Amino acid sequence: MQNRMIALLSAVLVLVGGASLWAAGGTDNTIHIALTAPLTGDYAEYGVNFQRSVQMGIDEINAQGGVLGKKYVLSVGDSRGDPKESVSLAQKWTSDPSIVAEIGDFTSSCCLASQPIYDAAGMVQLSPTASATTFTPGSVWSFSIVGTQAYEQPFMADLAFNKLKIKRMAILFINNDWGMDTQKFFKENFEKIGGKIVAVESFFQGEKDFNAVLTKLKESKPDALYMATMYNDGALISLQRQKMGWDIPVLGPSSLYSTELTKLGGSSVNGLYTNVSFFAKDTDPRVQAYVTGFQKRFGATPNFHAALAYDAIYILTEAIRRAGSTDKQAIRDALAGIKGFQGLTGTITFTPNRDAIKGYKAVQVVNGDFKLLK
């Protein structure tokens, strides 16, 4: 038995060896780029939006004749939101000589885990959403366009304290890298301008029952509740808060901005404040073209994360155009030099650390609809 298994094992190894032979190279009139996104698993709904937006952008660019006269070819990999998978994909992309740049991943932990691979191979790793402050300073090849919480949270703290006159705030955050960063920066900035954080509670990914934490937060008698969560958890929290009969102003970061929030949360999210740098009702014709195109093709309204992925493919295209070649170093340098790029999520200028500072607009949910705050 053992012998047969050894034979089998060697056969498998030979097969793997053989497989390396067909590791193909690209042809001359195409540009290969890769997308890493969680298409399955806990973060699948965000990953699927990544894929939709990037595919849409690529189809549009190809229809207009491509970039540098070449058409895009997209390779998509599913990271399942698992850092190990993300690393494996990074290795796959960087080992493929035809791929010139990568877009992704969704979570900061996945991006951080695969960073050393892109760094060693010298390939642009452009994450639409990674907002951990430690991410982009880690490698000259890492870029992020969402804008870290270090920029967004001062805006929210200012909105809460100065405009809405909230003095005592309770925070509920999702206990992952993103949520941790978000609540930390909000807390720091809110306290710096004179506000008081009366309670901080957290929950883990996958939690559905927030009654206990909400009860505890309510006890601290805050003026308002800050939800550092994604829109789906945010909607659940709001529903349960409403059922508890706890009527209180709610605020949260831009991750709450999604038509899904109002669809899931119904009347419970009315009055909620958040901010946007991408607004689906923006009168900008490019935003409208994107939103209607997305709705027509996928039957859903794009949210902030989707728009960021769309911006990612366009800013990458701009970099390739400026570089004038598909040389990886040239693309990186061109990307780092981009200033004032007009994206759907606002003007993007990379800082020396290769993350972006965005402009933020406050919005409020009014009767199930996001309205810009004056």
193 touches another protein by CB under 8 A: no
306 to 365, contacts with another protein by CB under 8 A? Answer: none
- Is 132 or 319 the residue whose CB approaches another protein more closely? 132
239 interacts with another protein by CB under 8 A? yes
Decide if residue 367 touches another protein (CB under 8 A).
no
Burial of 23 (0-12, 13-18, 19+ CB in 10 A): exposed
Stretch that binds another protein, among 98-106, 198-206, 288-296, 356-364 (CB under 8 A): 198-206
Site for another protein in 102-141 (CB under 8 A): 109, 112-113, 115-116, 120-121, 132, 134, 138
Helices (H), the chain: 2-21, 44-63, 83-95, 108-121, 149-158, 177-192, 211-219, 231-244, 259-265, 285-298, 304-323, 328-336
Q: Which of 219, 284, 327, 369 binds another protein (CB under 8 A)?
A: 219
DSSP codes of every residue in 169-196: EEEEEESSHHHHHHHHHHHHHHHHTT-E
Pairing of strands 250-251, 224-228: parallel
Map the footprint of another protein across residues 248-287, applying CB under 8 A: 260, 263-264, 266
- Is 88 a binder of another protein (CB under 8 A)? yes
Q: Which member of 30, 42, 191, 271 binds another protein (CB under 8 A)?
A: 42
Which range of residues in 45-53, 317-325, 327-335, 343-351 is near another protein by CB under 8 A? 45-53
SS3 call for 296: helix
Sheet containing 71-78: order of strands: 71-78, 30-37, 99-103, 124-127, 142-144
Q: Tell me how far, at minimum, the Cβ of 344 lies from another protein, in Å.
A: 21
State yes or no: residue 20 binds another protein (CB under 8 A): yes
User: What are the structure tokens assigned to 308, written together?
Assistant: 């960021």
